[in-house]
Every structure is written in structure tokens, then in C-alpha cells.
């Protein structure tokens, strides 16, 4: 009996050790499920729902929170209520907006019309914005989506919401990426899908898409090897590319991607020469 118990407890310990290892020792990947395309009928929306739509775009498809977050990569938009009028009154203002709604709209589609002091592209003396246009490029919000984001910004800044809900269009809306435990998403299979999903091109120029907050990666393979690139993605602050600041590139990529996806990105980038 004693021996039987010893065997049983040894087995339990072994199983326990394996379970513990698989939970703690292997990095857990909590990928987001694929976005659900939901068609929203704007005609039946009230302003509260329209603002909520803007909130979802701001935190999801718009990729705004990559930069507008507490890390200080971009201005705090909670203060936009007081800041917007001051921008318009500033001598440096070079745009065409007549009111706050116009300023917000212009900020989204032509960010360089006014560059907040200290946030310009390196070397541009705050004349060029590193923010990509959100109506084109890889973000590509539609006009109704931009309107929803403006309504959200006005509401968030404690301003009067002056945007009108467009009536005759439908916006396809992506659900915010939620972490669903136990239901892993299917891995992406191409670099472009990954770059779109993780908005690499909001910050980097890779081929045709132009982002300026991070280094141009169009020929990264000529100067960096696969190992460097892998580390740059998983642990961005391990090496800081010259002329750029620490803490700018998101450092949670490793928790969001599959190993196979990491290798797709590393292979693709290493071959850009
Ligand atoms: C790649 C980083 C990045 C992304 C993505 C980004 N922004 Fe910006 N944004 C900036 C930076 C940097 C500035 C400051 C420079 C300037 O004034 O253009 C800025 C400025 C702004 C301003 C003007 C702020 C002010 O105080 O006058 C608004 C409004 C704004 N962004 C909204 C957005 C919204 C909404 C989105 C998403 C649809 C977004 N941004 C996406 C980096 C980004
Ligand atoms: C919010 C902006 C932002 C996003 C999004 C972003 N990066 Fe970066 N990235 C940067 C900045 C800034 C640097 C330079 C600072 C540093 O080295 O950490 C950088 C550095 C890099 C480097 C090293 C470049 C060098 O020459 O040392 C690589 C490789 C890279 N990023 C790949 C990616 C990939 C792939 C993605 C998408 C999965 C991505 N980045 C998303 C901002 C960003």
C-alpha cells in the first residue's frame, strides 16, 4: 500500500509539474479573434450610439491608441476640449478650419496643418506631423467613420457635439479585438495581413505605405539580420534605432502573435534589401 501511494503521489507530482510548466513556462499567447464585420445602419442611430461607434473605431480599427495613450507618443486627447480652440488661435496654425469640428477633421486627414509643439517629425522643427492621415494609407477610415471619431473626440473633450450623423450610408464596423480564452484565432499567413492587423505601417514605411514615427523598414534586411529583427519586434527597447526614442514601439507584440507569425514577419523583413 505504501508503495502504491508513493507511485500515485509521484505521478500526481509529475502531472502537476507538467501542468505548471505549460501554464507558466511557455509564454501564453492570447490572440484576438478575427474581427467580425458587422454592418451598421446609421439611419437608425442616435447620437449616443454614434459616439459609441467613434469610441470603438478610436480604440480599434483607427489604431489611434497606438500613439494616443499614456506613454506620451502623441498629445493627450482628453485635453482636446481646451486645446483645439488654442490651436486655431495660434499664429502657427496653417490650415483651413473655421471651427473646432473643422480642426478635428483636419487633424485626422491632414495632420501637418497644425503640429503640436514637441511632437513634430524629428528634424522638421514641428512643421511636419508623424501622424499618418487616417483617411488614407493603412488606416483608411471612411467619411462616416471619421465623423463618428470626431463626435467621439468632441464628447470626450467635453465639447458640444456638432457633427451630424450621416444618414444614407452604412459603415462596416469591426468589433473591438477581444481576448477570447480557449478560442484561439487562426494565424495570419502573409506579412501584409500581419502588418495590417498590428498597424506596423502607422509608424513605419514598408514599401509603398508611409509611416514616419519609426524607422523606414523598406531596406531593413540590408543592415540588420533576422536575429536583430526578431528582437526588435519582441523586445523593442533592447536596441533603440538611432534618432528614435525608447518606448515608442509597442512592446506587447510577443503576447499577441503566434511564433509562426513572428517568423513570417522576420523572414519578410530580412529579405527587404
Ligand atoms: C502613429 C501615431 C499616431 C496615430 C496612429 C494617430 N495619431 Fe493623432 N497624433 C499623433 C501625433 C504625434 C500628434 C501630434 C502632432 C500633430 O499635431 O500632428 C497627433 C495629433 C492628433 C490630434 C491633434 C491634437 C491636438 O492637441 O491638437 C488629433 C485630434 C489626433 N491626433 C487624433 C487622432 C485620431 C482620432 C487617431 C486615430 C483615428 C490618431 N490621431 C492616430 C500621432 C498619431
Ligand atoms: C506606435 C508606432 C510603432 C508601431 C505600431 C510599430 N513600430 Fe516598430 N518601431 C517604432 C519605433 C519608434 C522604432 C525605433 C525605436 C526602437 O528601436 O525601438 C521601431 C523599431 C522597429 C524595428 C527596428 C528598426 C531598426 O532599424 O533598428 C523593427 C524591425 C520594427 N520596429 C518592426 C515593426 C513591426 C514588424 C511592426 C508591426 C508588427 C512595428 N514595428 C510596429 C514604432 C512602431
The pLDDT tens digits for 27-72 are 455 555 555 555 667 777 899 999 999 999 999 889 899 899 888 8
CB 209 within 8 A of CB 216: no
Where does the pLDDT of residue 92 fall: very low under 50, low under 70, confident under 90, or very high at 90 and above? very high
What the block records as the C-alpha cell of 122 is 524629428
User: Residue 9 pLDDT more than 60?
Assistant: no
Distance between CA atoms of residues 218 and 211, nearest Å = 11
* Domains in the chain with CATH codes: 37-174 (1.10.760), 191-270 (1.10.760.10)
Greater confidence, 184 or 129? 129
Tell me the chain's radius of gyration from C-alpha atoms. 23
For the chain, count helices (H), then strands (E). 11, 2
Question: Which ligand 1 atom is the nearest neighbour of the CA of 139?
Answer: 38
pLDDT in the model for residue 170: 67
pLDDT in the model for residue 119: 92
State whether the beta carbon of 129 lies less than 6 angstroms from ligand 1: yes
Distance between CA atoms of residues 250 and 187, nearest Å = 20
Section 111-121 average pLDDT: 93
Distance between CA atoms of residues 265 and 248, nearest Å = 19
Where does the pLDDT of residue 22 fall: very low under 50, low under 70, confident under 90, or very high at 90 and above? very low
pLDDT digits (tens, 9 = 90+) for 133-163: 899 877 889 999 999 999 999 999 999 999 9
Section 70-75 average pLDDT: 87
State whether the beta carbon of 56 lies less than 6 angstroms from ligand 1: no
What the block records as the C-alpha cell of 146 is 471619421
CB 219 within 8 A of CB 272: yes
User: Residue 18 pLDDT more than 90?
Assistant: no
**Picking from 30-34, 78-82, 226-230, 262-266, which range would have the lowest pLDDT averaged per residue?**
30-34
Distance between CA atoms of residues 20 and 29, nearest Å = 16
pLDDT in the model for residue 245: 80
pLDDT in the model for residue 183: 72
Going from the Cα of 60 to the center of ligand 1, the distance in angstroms, rounded, reads 15
**Picking from 97-101, 129-133, 209-213, which range would have the lowest pLDDT averaged per residue?**
209-213
Task: State which of 203, 211, 245, 264 you would mutate to test the pocket of ligand 2, scoring each by most atoms of that ligand within 8 A of its C-beta.
Answer: 203
Greater confidence, 3 or 62? 62
User: Residue 176 pLDDT more than 50?
Assistant: no
Distance between CA atoms of residues 134 and 64, nearest Å = 9
pLDDT in the model for residue 47: 93
State whether the beta carbon of 149 lies less than 6 angstroms from ligand 1: yes
Across the chain, mean pLDDT equals 83
pLDDT in the model for residue 34: 54
pLDDT in the model for residue 23: 47
Going from the Cα of 65 to the center of ligand 1, the distance in angstroms, rounded, reads 9
User: Residue 16 pLDDT more than 50?
Assistant: no
State whether the beta carbon of 154 lies less than 6 angstroms from ligand 1: no
pLDDT in the model for residue 232: 95
Going from the Cα of 134 to the center of ligand 2, the distance in angstroms, rounded, reads 19
pTM here?
Answer: 0.74
Amino acid at each position: 500500500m505504501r508503495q502504491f501511494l508513493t507511485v500515485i503521489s509521484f505521478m500526481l507530482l509529475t502531472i502537476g509539474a507538467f501542468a505548471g510548466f505549460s501554464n507558466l513556462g511557455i509564454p501564453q499567447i492570447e490572440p484576438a479573434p478575427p474581427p467580425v464585420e458587422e454592418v451598421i445602419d446609421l439611419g437608425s442611430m442616435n447620437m449616443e450610439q454614434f459616439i459609441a461607434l467613434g469610441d470603438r473605431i478610436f480604440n480599434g480599427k483607427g489604431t489611434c491608441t497606438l500613439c494616443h495613450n499614456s506613454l506620451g507618443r502623441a498629445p493627450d486627447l482628453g485635453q482636446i476640449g481646451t486645446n483645439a480652440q488654442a490651436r486655431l488661435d495660434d499664429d502657427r496654425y496653417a490650415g483651413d478650419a473655421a471651427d473646432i469640428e473643422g480642426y478635428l477633421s483636419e487633424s485626422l486627414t491632414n495632420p501637418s496643418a497644425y503640429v503640436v509643439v514637441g511632437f513634430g517629425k524629428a528634424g522638421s522643427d514641428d512643421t511636419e506631423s508623424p501622424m499618418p492621415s487616417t483617411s488614407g494609407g493603412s488606416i483608411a477610415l471612411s467619411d462616416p467613420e471619421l465623423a463618428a471619431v470626431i463626435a467621439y473626440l468632441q464628447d470626450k473633450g467635453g465639447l458640444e457635439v456638432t457633427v451630424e450623423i450621416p444618414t444614407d450610408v452604412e459603415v462596416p464596423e469591426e468589433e473591438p479585438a477581444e481576448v477570447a480564452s480557449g478560442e484561439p484565432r487562426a494565424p495570419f499567413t502573409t506579412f501584409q495581413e500581419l502588418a495590417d492587423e498590428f498597424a506596423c505601417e502607422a509608424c513605419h514605411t514598408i514599401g509603398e505605405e508611409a509611416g514616419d514615427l519609426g524607422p523606414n523598414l523598406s531596406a531593413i534586411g540590408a543592415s540588420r539580420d533576422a536575429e536583430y529583427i526578431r528582437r526588435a519586434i519582441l523586445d523593442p527597447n533592447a536596441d533603440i534605432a538611432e534618432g528614435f526614442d525608447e518606448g515608442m514601439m509597442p512592446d506587447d507584440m510577443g503576447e499577441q502573435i503566434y511564433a509562426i507569425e513572428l517568423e513570417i514577419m522576420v523572414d519578410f523583413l530580412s529579405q527587404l534589401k
